[in-house]
Structure 1
């Protein structure tokens, strides 16, 4: 079992460490990391999200019931609870509170979920990965871009009112692509295979490229372990899956779905926070450190949760 967890997590750690090594040897600098992240968020990530969501079976979405409700509801709920806590208790700016909320409410299910859940639960794990991806990319990402647009006019647009901010958010490829795929799936019209095969090549570079860029930023800015990073990792890796466990019990989910729900929320923070922090030039060091430590801690916490829910 430990081999399964390490097999899923190690590629993420290795990609980050290679980026760190490249920067350490003077092969990459901050401008290179920014360029890589720009490519990811404008091209690779939208393509990857489109392909992933377009492969969801419509009946899975329509018949997922309480299982999907818990995943979507708690993913969105953990995001907004963390945002309010960070904004009004820690007194952080809108941008930093949004990034911290995304670190908690956005587990790396698209990158790590298929490997871990697929091994443990077989083909049925596709539903958890798909529903989580929908919640992240159709609900959370538009909200994140809306919040960041209002606080970063120089990098996210110079709009002056909330309607303009909303329009600016929905102009982002990372928002438009998954929503287009979602409604396409609901329509029941098959996605042309040519689109699927054409998008998948660049889309598959998303995880590795983002973590490589995160490694570059970690080397240049040095990892930090402050109260914000510790808080984010503790909530993401321990508290969120524990609450998910309680919700699954309260909903009387069968043991199979209970374990799948808990492990879906036990994934480490996704690297998209590093991409966004680099784009707005705020919180890059904290974002990269959060992803790094969350990934390392997940090797232990996911192993424990697998044993407890077996």
Structure 2
């Protein structure tokens, strides 16, 4: 079991460390990462998400409905709680609160979920991870994009009232490739159709860069920010690594859920904080020191929390 956990987590730390060292040594400019961010958010990750969801068989997609619902609730509730806490008590801006909330609520499905599921569950672990990624891209991600669009200074000069601004922000967020890709992939899967071999191979080729480049970019971004361990970061880490999986435990205990779905849901919730919040923040000019610190603290502490979760869920 220690070997399995090491094989799942060591590559994540290694690639992030590469990006961090490259930024600190100025091998790559860690203050101007817009092009790399566009590569990840507009091309590589959307391609990966589309293939993962569209290639899932219709029956398997339908069978994973409870997983989608459980993870959706487990992400949205912490998201709203952390966002309101930051706005009301920490007096954070809308953009900063949104970036932090997404960092806390959306686990690292894309980079950490796939290798861990493959190591623990086996080849069939790709399907629940695809569902988890779709849930994260369809639910909290558009909400964050709407809040960032509304707080974007460029949009404050647009004509129209608040309702029109919200409508425009919602339209922009829902047409982002990172949101459209898993939605279209899910619809294609539910229709019973699958992308042909040529289309799948073409998308897989660019999609394979998603996890590695995203982790490298995360390390690169973090290298330009100081790590600050305060009570806010500690609270966010506890929310992400401990309270979120416990919330899933409460849900699966309260409702009749198949044991295999319950185990996967808890495992997915126990993953460390993801980097979508940081990448979204970079795209909108929000360099959140808190979000970067949360990702670092959550990833490091996940060595312990993930080990406990895996040992309890999959003892053999």
Deviation at 1:119, TM superposition (A): 2.6
Q: What is the match of residue 117 of structure 1?
A: 117
Cα distance between partner residues in 1 of 2:258 and 2:306: 20
Q: What does 1:101-250 align with in structure 2 at a 5 Å threshold?
A: 101-154=101-154, 161-250=165-254
Which whole-Å deviations, capped at 9, do the CAs of 1:4-58 have from their partners, x for residues lacking one? 1221121121111111211222212234433211221121121111111112222
- Give per-residue Cα distances to partners, 1:50-107, cap 9 Å, x unaligned: 1111122221222335444322322233322322232223332211111121112211
Secondary structure of the residue aligned to 1:221 is: coil
What is the rounded CA distance, in whole Å, between the counterparts of 1:259 and 1:217 in structure 2?
Answer: 33
State the secondary structure of the residue aligned to 1:131.
helix
Query: Structure 1 residues 93, 247: closer, same or farther in 2, change over 3 A?
Result: same
Q: 1:23 to 1:122 in 2, by over 3 A?
A: closer
TM-score by length of structure 2 reads 0.89
- Is the CA contact (8 Å cut-off) linking 1:38 and 1:275 kept in structure 2? no
SS, match of residue 290 in structure 1: helix
Aligned equivalents of 1:56 and 1:78: distance in 2?
28
Q: Would you say the 8 A contact 2:113–2:129 is kept in 1? A: yes
Task: Report the secondary structure of 2:286's partner residue.
Answer: coil
Q: Aligned ranges for residues 1-310 of structure 1 at < 5 Å?
A: 1-64=1-64, 66-154=66-154, 161-309=165-313, 310=315
3-state SS of the aligned residue for 2:200?
helix
Equivalenced residues, count: 310
Residues 190, 159 of structure 1: alpha-carbon distance in 2 compared, 3 angstrom cutoff: farther
CA distance in 2, matches of 1:121, 1:255: 13
**RMSD between superposed Cα atoms in Å:** 2.2
- Mapped to 2, the partners of 1:227 and 1:241 lie a distance apart of 21
Q: Give runs of ≥4 in structure 1 deviating > 6 Å.
A: none
Q: Shift of the alpha carbon at 1:159? A: 7.1
Check whether the contact 1:79–1:102 (CA below 8 A) recurs between aligned residues: yes
In structure 2, what is the Cα distance between the partners aligned to 1:50 and 1:152? Answer: 28
Partners of 1:159 and 1:152 in 2: CA distance: 14
How far the C-alpha of 1:253 sits from its partner, in A, is 3.5
Going from structure 1 to structure 2, the CA distance change for 1:248 and 1:2 (only over 3 Å counts) comes to: same
Q: Shift of residue 143 of structure 1? A: 1.6
Runs of at least 5 residues in structure 1 that lack an aligned partner in the other structure: none
Supply the distance in 2 between the matched residues of 1:145 and 1:157 (Cα, whole angstroms). Answer: 18
Cα deviation, residue 155, structure 1: 8.1
Q: For 2:25 and 2:64, locate their aligned partners in 1 and report how far apart those are by CA, in whole Å.
A: 49
Matched-pair contact (CA < 8 Å) for 1:113–1:264: yes
Q: Normalising by structure 1, report the TM-score.
A: 0.91
Q: Is the contact made by 2:16 and 2:215 (CA closer than 8 Å) also made in structure 1?
A: yes
Stretch deviating more after TM superposition (155-164 or 259-268): 155-164
